[in-house]
Amino acid sequence: MTAVPAATVRYVGFAAPGVSHRLATGRALRLDLEAGDQLSWRDEEGGATLWLLSFDAQRRPTVLLRPLQGVATARADLRRFESTALRSWLGDERELSATVLGGDEPARTLEATQPGTVWCVLPAGHAASPEGAGGAVSIAVTPREPHEANPLPPPFGPVRDEFRVAASSARAYRVHAGECIQIIDVQGQQCSDFMAFRVDALERGVERCIDSTVTRTLVGGAYPGPGLYDKFFDQDMQPLLAVVQDTVGRHDTFALACTARGYEERGFPGHINCSDNISAAYAPFGITGRRAWPAINLFFNSWILPGDNRLRSDEAWSRPGDYVVMRALTDLICVTTACPDDIDSINAWNPTDIHVRIYPPHQPVPVALAYRQAADEPATMTEHSAFHPRTSALTRGYAAARDLWLPTSYEGTRALEEYRACREAVTLQDLSSLRKFDVMGPDAERLLELCTTRDVRRLAVHRGSYTLVCSESGAVIDDGTLWRLAPDVFRWCPSSEHSALHLRQIARERGLAVQVRSHERAMPNLALQGPCSRELLAAVVFTQPLVPALESLKWFGFTIARLHDRDGPSFMLTRSGYTGELGYEIFCDHADALAIWDALIQAGAPFGLVPMGSEALGILRVEAGLAERGSEFGGDIDAYEAGLGFAVDLNKPEFIGRAALQRIQAAPRRVLTGLVLQGNEVPSHGDGVFLGRERVGVVTSAVRSPALGCAIALARVAVEWAAPGHSLEVGRLDGQMKRLPGTTAAHPFVDAQRTRARA
């Protein structure tokens, strides 16, 4: 019997029946089953090992699922699990036997023989393992008894009150300061108007409610989102509610709730409408009725085209069970509707129900947004990284980076000081949102040769390279760093999940024996960047004789290191970064994250180490001329237009996109160039670049450069005007009303030969 890997399991939550759940590496999921319920699992990426711990209704270990004959068992020491959720649920720290599913079985269905609970655990491998790790499985429970077609998401905890707002109706209700309101779209694509009045103002005979114009002005956005700019305000600029969670992110604060007049003018006199419903629901509270109600139109998908300034709408993005959670900041009288509009697309032509839950003030609900790896995949909610206990003591400024909250800057320094520390000393940055995939198997090299633009065959163990994954048309699907851990094991660290989906598709089409496993949140990582980074690491890094020593690591080399000595936490140490400076990146196990952070902070004090956030990194990236997904490339932008031609090896005999890139290289239309602007005004992504009245390019990224003392930009420009020395202008105010003069320049703007990174 073998042991479950230590300190690798984090609790995901309770799984609702009838819904498919994605269980990623290093995660645990609780399933409450009745006799006859079926549990199905499918290995999405290949090679995953799923552990099942089953208990009867009295929480005693039992054989709950069948058939289990011939399936191996393993010892699971719960005292070594990072998460306390399972131990808290059990009430003790027993050792238990776990059922192990995996190996050659890509899918399996098991049936519960009695009521009970199953904990599904997907242990994570270690970041420093040369054998690779990672993986994800999908799990679903099919109840024996008929169940609701669209089950609601599980509650966050005890619910003070909940009710269903039937289609084409409205309901008013009171909430107290500190309580949370969860508004759930039951069947998806259903608009729900929301309004709230302050109770203290109503008691004085004054009506004060959510004011969309005040809210947009104070938060600087069309809709508040979880984070710093999360508030809804009234006419007195008093905050009424804070957005805590949002699984959709597409709502409207511009239009009215639907009105009788709106239906009349479209030929539907007498049609039920939200404004009349709101007035009727609010009447018992003494709130004056209105023919047209302003409202927050949750799940209403609207946008404004910059070309004609028209407000447009279409079917909602919300799916069954999507929701918004708001915390009341004062006592409120709220109203929620289920919109009756059945004559256009906003409710997908079919009005349905809205469900409301109210949680007591003491119920914790984490701040989170929904993140989807692809549009058709289940959402995961943003979490804090493994380093959050340390970073949160230094800042409250966080932004969502894919599925994690990461610091934007630190309150004691802010971006400019952090930038200077990276240039002159050393910085430490949480970059845990970086994607990590292990590509392994006898055909791993063959797959990567087909799908990447550099010669993988020349990549030795303990070496890496920056490379691209392109489509047949030469468009950049993704960029990233590829590391060779072993002859048939590679670690791919791209900017998104799209390349992993591409790799799996090609592997299936070509019949290749290879697995592409994701690490997701189980492998946090840090960037240690700056001229003092090597000296700092020398004080804390230990390496065994069989792997490269710290001082022998060249640019894009890596080693497997330990903290302080041979018994310290191990991690993968790479000589790489995104700043243009000498630097290293550290990939570690979740359980070791805080020990590694603390050791680096302590050892870095004599070198002037400063924690750094994403704002300073953005300045450094542009000065270094480094491309970013969504700025320099994405969509149909090819490698040469993105300024990434240096990562394309046309001497390779075969790779996807080679023929297109060879043709483009011979006759490019646009290329990436630098622009040094006259002044400090920073243009925006998408601003046009002009020669007189002729538009010759577009700005992809821009910052104010502390090193050059002016604004600089990366721009995709017609080849005729891309060479250094041409005088061009960035056009603002529709391109013609305002111009920012500048001169094309080589990039990187700072350290053009990258001597600092290679030092």
Query: For 131-141, how does the pLDDT look when each residue is reduced to its tens digit (9 = 90+)?
Result: 556 678 888 88
What average pLDDT does range 427-446 have in this prediction? 96
CATH superfamily of 437-522: Aminomethyltransferase beta-barrel domains (3.30.70.1400)
The CATH architecture annotation of domain 383-432+524-620 reads 2-Layer Sandwich (3.30)
Q: What pLDDT sits at residue 75?
A: 59
Phi first, then psi, for residue 390 (nearest 5°) are -95, -45
Distance CA 382, CA 646 (A): 35
Handedness of CA 294, 298, 304, 310 (dihedral sign): negative
Q: Where in the chain is the domain with CATH 3.30.1360.120?
A: 383-432+524-620
* Residue 115: both structure tokens together: 């009521």
Name the band, by pLDDT with cuts 50, 70 and 90, for residue 698: very high
CA dihedral 683, 685, 686, 687 (to 10 degrees): 0
pLDDT tens for 671-697 read 999 999 999 999 999 999 999 999 999
d(CA 225, CA 219): 9
User: Rounded to an integer, what distance in angstroms lies between the CA atom of residue 168 and that of residue 351?
Assistant: 7
User: What angle do helix axes 444-451 and 498-510 make, rounded to 10 degrees?
Assistant: 120
For the beta carbon of residue 498, count every other beta carbon within 10 angstroms.
Answer: 17
Neighbours of 75 (CB within 10 A): 12
- Which CATH fold topology does 10-142 show? Jelly Rolls (2.60.120)
Give the pLDDT score at 103: 55
CA max distance for the chain: 84
Domain with CATH 3.30.70.1400 in the chain: 437-522
pLDDT of 524 strictly over 80: yes
Lowest mean pLDDT among 100-104, 667-671, 737-741: 100-104
Cβ partners under 8 Å of residue 454, min gap 6: 465, 466, 467, 468, 482, 647, 648, 649, 652
Q: What is the pLDDT of residues 729-755, one digit of tens each?
A: 999 888 888 999 999 999 999 999 999
d(CA 115, CA 185): 30
The tokens describing 199, both together, are: 């109770």
More confident residue, 720 or 522: 720
Does pLDDT of 262 surpass 90? Answer: yes
SS3 of 441-456: CCCHHHHHHHHECCCH
Beta strands 558-563; 570-574: pairing state: antiparallel
Cβ-based neighbours of 253, under 8 Å, separated by 6 or more? 212, 215, 216, 222, 223, 296, 297
pLDDT band at 522 (very low <50, low <70, confident <90, very high): confident
Between 735 and 560, the more confident residue is 560
Q: What length is written for the chain?
A: 759
Q: What is the pLDDT of residues 184-231, one digit of tens each?
A: 999 999 999 999 999 999 999 999 999 999 999 999 999 999 988 999
Q: In 605-692, where does DSSP find H-type helix?
A: 614-623, 658-666
Q: DSSP assignment of 91-104, as one string?
A: TS--EEEEEEE-TT
3-state secondary structure of 498: helix
pLDDT at 746: 95
Among 24-28, 243-247, 263-267, 293-297, the minimum mean pLDDT is found in: 24-28
Write out the residue limits of the CATH 2.40.30.110 domain(s) in the chain.
669-759
d(CA 576, CA 569): 21
Tell me which architecture the domain covering 669-759 has in CATH: Beta Barrel (2.40)
pLDDT (average), residues 695-701: 97
Higher pLDDT, 111 or 491: 491
